[in-house]
């Protein structure tokens, strides 16, 4: 039972809370000789693998370190350009570290606001009048569960596929939200949630769900 | 009022504690504002802000579905009073078009030890309740007006809170709910 993340989207479609949970961070380090047998894609923001996967370094993974020095976008932290470094033979053998790309906060906000119209479109596409929006979205590696309250706040849980009873978990998150966020006098509505108590309680809940299953959530 | 053991647990605060705290709030406001009308307004405003937050707690606790007629709404409001104040107001005096009803309170925990001094007859002591109802219903896209018709503090037999449906806030009904 793996929960990858919890998101809360406000009435107006903004991401007000996100929590990454238990996502295994895959990193692969390998020493390469010249010429490099990976086909790399240098775009303006990052260096990623375009073709020729090997040893767990998969297409789509991004370069995070060269010889142990972190890579920031397309430059190495010591100031050198990644592309120039990798293309000159005198720098080899070279140790490269690749990892799965990690979403930045901005990307998360962007995706959350993309989900908002998708949800609305789903309810309009419906052949029956008065349909709800997307409640469940399945892919081969994860399932997205969405619960919209009567007041319009969306609670979203990303989990592994084939789990039952996530709606119970969503309800429980709603309860935590109503207790620890809305009863916090310093929280103003519609704003990003920065409540430590809520974070802690939510993490406790997720830990419990992952250990003992959803049916054992204490109410 | 957070839950620990069971889901619909009894409230855990002695109602006298609430009565006294609320009394202290009202007294402080009377001292701060001097003008009774301002106090009424502020109490109503505080109630409105409370209602906007309290509704989420109510929905999370009861998993109530959306109301599609005012009679359902009235039942829910009654249920909310039971949950939060442990009193059950009577619903009555429906208007012929079913867009207005009254909540009758035999007792009101907010006013338990209160007598209004003669110079404060304009004070709507429990105005926080009407604000609360208005704020909560607004969050579920119902615009209502809410006011006191009778008040035990002013010598009436019961306290009567009138609720009038104004309109459904169509533009803010969340997608997938309208």
B135, B118, B126: which is closest to B18 by C-alpha?
B126
Alpha-helical regions (H) of A128-218: 166-176, 196-212
Per-residue H/E/C for A75-105:
EECCCCEHHHHHHCHHHCCEEEEEECCCCCH
Residue pointed to by tokens 């490099």: A36
The whole-number pLDDT of residue B11 equals 54
> Is residue B146 predicted with pLDDT exceeding 60?
yes
Give the model's confidence band at B5: pLDDT under 50 very low, under 70 low, under 90 confident, else very high.
very low
Which residues in chain A have Cβ-Cβ distances shorter than 8 Å to B9? none
Is residue B3 included in any domain, yes or no?
Answer: no
Is residue B171 included in any domain, yes or no?
Answer: no
pLDDT, mean over chain B: 88
CATH number for the domain harbouring residue B147:
3.30.1380.20
User: What is the ipTM for the molecules in this complex?
Assistant: 0.85
Give the model's confidence band at B7: pLDDT under 50 very low, under 70 low, under 90 confident, else very high.
very low
Is residue B177 included in any domain, yes or no?
Answer: no
- Range A27-99: architecture per CATH: Roll (2.30)
Residue in B67, B169, B175, B178 to test binding to A, most A beta-carbons within 10 Å: B175
Tell me whether A25 touches chain B (CB under 8 Å).
no
- State the Cα–Cα distance between residues B86 and B64, nearest whole angstrom: 19
Q: Do B2 and A122 touch (CB under 8 A)?
A: no
CB pairs under 8 A between A and B: 70
The whole-number pLDDT of residue A218 equals 64
- Tens-of-pLDDT digits for all 219 residues of chain A? 889 999 999 988 899 999 988 676 778 888 888 888 888 888 878 888 888 888 888 888 888 888 888 888 888 888 888 888 888 888 888 888 888 888 888 999 999 989 999 998 888 888 888 788 899 999 998 999 999 999 889 999 999 998 888 989 999 999 999 988 888 888 888 899 999 999 999 999 999 888 887 777 765
The whole-number pLDDT of residue B177 equals 61
* Smallest Cα distance from A66 to chain B, Å: 48
Of B3, B53, B177, the CB nearest to A148: B177
Q: Does domain A3-23+104-216 have CATH number 3.30.1300.30?
A: no
Is residue B42 included in any domain, yes or no?
Answer: yes
Domain that holds residue B92: 13-113+121-166
> Is residue B72 predicted with pLDDT exceeding 60?
yes
Alpha-helical regions (H) of chain A: 82-87, 105-125, 166-176, 196-212
The whole-number pLDDT of residue A74 equals 83
Q: What is the pLDDT of residues B15-56, one digit of tens each?
A: 889 999 999 999 999 999 988 999 999 999 999 999 999 999
Give residues 89 to 148 of A whose Cβ lies within 8 Å of B: 119-120, 122-124, 130-133, 148
Domain boundaries, chain A: 3-23+104-216, 27-99
Q: Chain B residue closest to A126 (CA)?
A: B176
Which residues in chain A have Cβ-Cβ distances shorter than 8 Å to B4? none
Task: Count structural domains, chain B.
Answer: 1
* Smallest Cα distance from A167 to chain B, Å: 12
B125, B108, B111, B166: which is closest to B42 by C-alpha?
B125
Whole-model pTM: value is 0.85
> Is residue B1 predicted with pLDDT exceeding 50?
no
Name all contacts of A214-217 with Cβ < 8 Å and 24+ positions apart.
Answer: A214/A1, A214/A163, A214/A164, A214/A165, A214/A166, A214/A168, A214/A169, A215/A165, A215/A168, A217/A168, A217/A169, A217/A172
Which residues in chain B have Cβ-Cβ distances shorter than 8 Å to A189? 52-53
A32, A25, A29, A17: which is closest to A56 by C-alpha?
A29
Give residues 166 to 185 of A whose Cβ lies within 8 Å of B: 171, 174-175, 177-179, 182-183
Give the model's confidence band at B172: pLDDT under 50 very low, under 70 low, under 90 confident, else very high.
low
Query: Does residue B150 sit in helix, strand or coil?
Result: strand
Cis peptide before A103 (omega within 30 of 0): no
Q: Chain A residue closest to B6 (CA)?
A: A219
Residue in A137, A146, A152 to test binding to B, most B beta-carbons within 10 Å: A152
Is residue B2 included in any domain, yes or no?
Answer: no
Q: Chain A residue closest to B138 (CA)?
A: A151
* Smallest Cα distance from A10 to chain B, Å: 11
Give the model's confidence band at B132: pLDDT under 50 very low, under 70 low, under 90 confident, else very high.
very high
Cβ pair B96, B152 in contact under 8 A: no
Helix axes B127-139, B70-85, angle to 10 degrees: 130
Q: Chain B residue closest to A120 (CA)?
A: B175
């Amino acid at each position: 039972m793996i929960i990858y993340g919890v998101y809360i989207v406000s009435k107006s479609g903004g991401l007000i809370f996100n929590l990454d949970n238990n996502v295994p961070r895959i990193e692969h380090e390998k020493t390469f000789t010249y010429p490099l047998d990976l086909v790399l894609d240098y775009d303006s923001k990052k260096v990623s693998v375009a073709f020729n996967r090997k040893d767990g370094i998969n297409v789509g993974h991004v370069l995070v370190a060269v010889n142990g020095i972190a890579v920031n976008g397309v430059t190495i932290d010591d100031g050198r350009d990644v592309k120039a470094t990798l293309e000159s033979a005198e720098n080899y053998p070279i140790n490269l570290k690749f990892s799965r790309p990690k979403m930045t906060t901005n990307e998360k906000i962007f995706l959350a606001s993309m989900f908002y119209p998708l949800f609305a479109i789903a309810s309009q596409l419906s052949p029956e009048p008065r349909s709800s929006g997307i409640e469940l979205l399945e892919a081969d590696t994860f399932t997205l569960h969405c619960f919209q309250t009567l007041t319009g706040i969306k609670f979203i849980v990303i989990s592994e596929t084939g789990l039952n009873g996530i709606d119970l978990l969503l309800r429980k998150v709603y309860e935590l939200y109503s207790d620890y966020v809305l009863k916090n006098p310093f929280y103003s509505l519609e704003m990003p949630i920065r409540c430590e108590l809520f974070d802690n309680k939510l993490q406790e809940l997720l830990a419990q769900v992952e250990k003992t299953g959803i049916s054992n959530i204490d109410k | 009022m957070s839950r620990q053991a069971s889901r619909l647990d009894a409230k855990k605060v002695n109602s006298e504690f609430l009565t006294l705290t609320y009394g202290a709030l009202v007294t402080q406001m009377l001292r701060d504002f001097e003008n009774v009308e301002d106090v009424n307004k502020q109490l109503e405003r505080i109630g409105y802000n409370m209602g906007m937050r309290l509704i989420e707690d109510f929905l999370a606790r009861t998993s109530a579905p959306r109301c599609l007629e005012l009679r359902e709404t009235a039942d829910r409001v009654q249920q909310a009073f039971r949950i939060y104040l442990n009193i059950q107001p009577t619903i009555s005096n429906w208007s012929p078009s079913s867009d207005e009803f009254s909540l009758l309170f035999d007792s009101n925990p907010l006013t338990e030890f209160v007598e209004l001094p003669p110079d404060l007859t304009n004070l709507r002591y429990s105005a926080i309740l009407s604000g609360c109802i208005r704020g909560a219903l607004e969050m579920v896209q119902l615009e209502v007006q809410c006011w006191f018709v009778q008040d035990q503090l002013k010598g009436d037999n019961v306290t009567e809170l009138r609720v009038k449906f104004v309109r459904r806030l169509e533009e803010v009904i969340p997608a997938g709910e309208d």
